[in-house]
Homo-oligomer: A and B are copies of this chain.
Amino acid sequence: MPERRSPARRPTMKDIARRAGVSESAVSFALNGRPGVSDITRDRVRRVAEQLGWRPSTAARALSGEGAATVGLVLARPAGTLGVDSFFLQLVSGIQEVLAERHLGLLFQIAEDIGDECAVYRRWWAEHRVDGVLVVDPRTDDPRPGLLDELGLPAVVIGGTPDERHPRLSTVWADDAAAMAALVDGLYTLGHRRIAHIAGLLELAHTERRIRTLRAEAERRGLYEVQSVPTDYSDVAGAAVTRRVLDGPGTPTALIYDNDVMAVAGVAAAVELGFSIPADVSVVAWEDSALCRLVKPWLSALSRDSVEFGRTAARELTALLDGGPARTVRVPVPALIERDSTGRPGRCAPSRYRGD
């Protein structure tokens, strides 16, 4: 006869005591690492606890000063713009791989804007909900590091640059400036002199880094027809800016897009205007994803390992929670995957001006 299944019950210290043949207080001493029991008893209690699947309640741990065993992550983006995003879920996947090893939970929140995000940190802090946070999308003028410093919440800024005003925050970042410099060098070597950069949100720190580097590299080489146009990262903006920069004299021969969605939308807009890729104009997407292989020609893209980026950030946060010092860690520079959308600027003028 099959055993009748009773409803699940969480194993208690009493269960452990009964099974291990010791008193409840001995179990409590043993599991809380306090003196008062022999090493042999401690070992036996721990083994039985493990066999029974006993776990300390998170609430009890938090009240006993062991922390919430939870870290927080806020994504501040208006609901309407939460569309196609190939980076974020991969980042979170890497983060959780590391958190899971430590039995840390991830409290996740979507906020409307940065003010909202700050309010979330204050609430989490007031409610002892998290032991630390992972901060994404660092900005040029960012209120979050100051707030987190003030609250004393351990934090790792993902994608920021080291900031000596907040020595208690760790930073994990990719060198976008180096990636942009290498990209401009590659395009220059191919023969490109007129480059348009369809950039992301101007208030994000990495957007500013890319724009600044592009300008410096252009000046160094005496290129005066190089421009950056900030956008909101949307496909609509990607297409609109593409139309604008391709329309008129001094048409660029290379387009750099700050994400994959804008690159795909930009290619469609360019083709519609009669441009051939890469014959008339080369295209590079900053961020590689399935999207880059969904269009013809396949897009050349700057690729990074987002899962590993997440792992690195989570490791730095657990190090902070363990009492380690704040650190700045640089992940590998994004590498250019050359596909079919980049080449020499072969024609003198785009096809539509030549009537072919």
- Stoichiometry, as copies per complex, reads 2
Q: In the complex, which of the residues A8, A97, A124, A289 has the most CB atoms of chain B within 10 Å of its own CB atom? A: A8
Q: Are A128 and B58 in contact, with the CB atoms below 8 A?
A: yes
A105 CB contacts on chain B under 8 angstroms: 107, 109, 124, 129
In the complex with contacts A88-B89, A89-B82, A307-B79, A126-B54 CB distance below 8 A: yes
Question: Does residue A83 face the partner (Cβ distance < 8 Å to B)?
Answer: yes
In the complex with contacts A128-B57, A268-B296, A109-B107 CB distance below 8 A: no
Which residues between 50 and 74 of chain A lie within 8 Å of chain B, taking CB atoms? 53-63, 68-70
Q: A275-289, CB under 8 A of B: which get 1 and which 0?
A: 000000000000001
Q: Are A151 and B83 in contact, with the CB atoms below 8 A?
A: no
Complex partner residue of A106 from B82, B90, B109, B151, CB under 8 angstroms: B109
The chain A residues found within 8 Å of chain B, CB to CB, are 5, 7-8, 10-11, 53-63, 68-70, 79, 82-86, 88-90, 92-94, 96-97, 100, 103, 105-110, 122-129, 150-152, 234-235, 261, 264-265, 268, 271-272, 289-291, 293-296, 307
A234 CB contacts on chain B under 8 angstroms: 290
A94 CA to B79 CA, complexed, in Å: 8
Complex partner residue of A110 from B5, B70, B92, B272, CB under 8 angstroms: B92
6 of the cross-chain contacts (CB-CB < 8 Å) are: A8-B152, A57-B62, A79-B90, A83-B289, A84-B290, A261-B290
A57 CA to B58 CA, complexed, in Å: 12
10 interchain residue pairs of minimum CB distance: A59-B62, A108-B108, A82-B89, A55-B126, A79-B93, A59-B59, A57-B128, A58-B127, A59-B63, A235-B290
Q: Are B108 and A106 in contact, with the CB atoms below 8 A?
A: yes
CB proximity of A159 to chain B, nearest CB, Å: 18
The chain B residue sitting closest to A78, CB to CB, is B93
A94 CB contacts on chain B under 8 angstroms: 79
A296 CB contacts on chain B under 8 angstroms: 268, 271-272
In the complex with contacts A93-B79, A261-B290, A60-B57 CB distance below 8 A: no
CB proximity of A79 to chain B, nearest CB, Å: 4
A35 CA to B30 CA, complexed, in Å: 39
The chain B residue sitting closest to A306, CB to CB, is B82
A108 CA to B70 CA, complexed, in Å: 11
A110 CB contacts on chain B under 8 angstroms: 89, 92-93, 96
A117 CA to B222 CA, complexed, in Å: 57
A7 CA to B55 CA, complexed, in Å: 34
A271 CA to B294 CA, complexed, in Å: 12
A8 CB contacts on chain B under 8 angstroms: 125, 150-152
CB proximity of A292 to chain B, nearest CB, Å: 10
The chain B residue sitting closest to A92, CB to CB, is B110
Complex partner residue of A10 from B54, B107, B126, CB under 8 angstroms: B126
CB proximity of A75 to chain B, nearest CB, Å: 8
Q: Are B83 and A129 in contact, with the CB atoms below 8 A?
A: no
The chain B residue sitting closest to A310, CB to CB, is B79
Complex partner residue of A235 from B5, B128, B150, B293, CB under 8 angstroms: B293
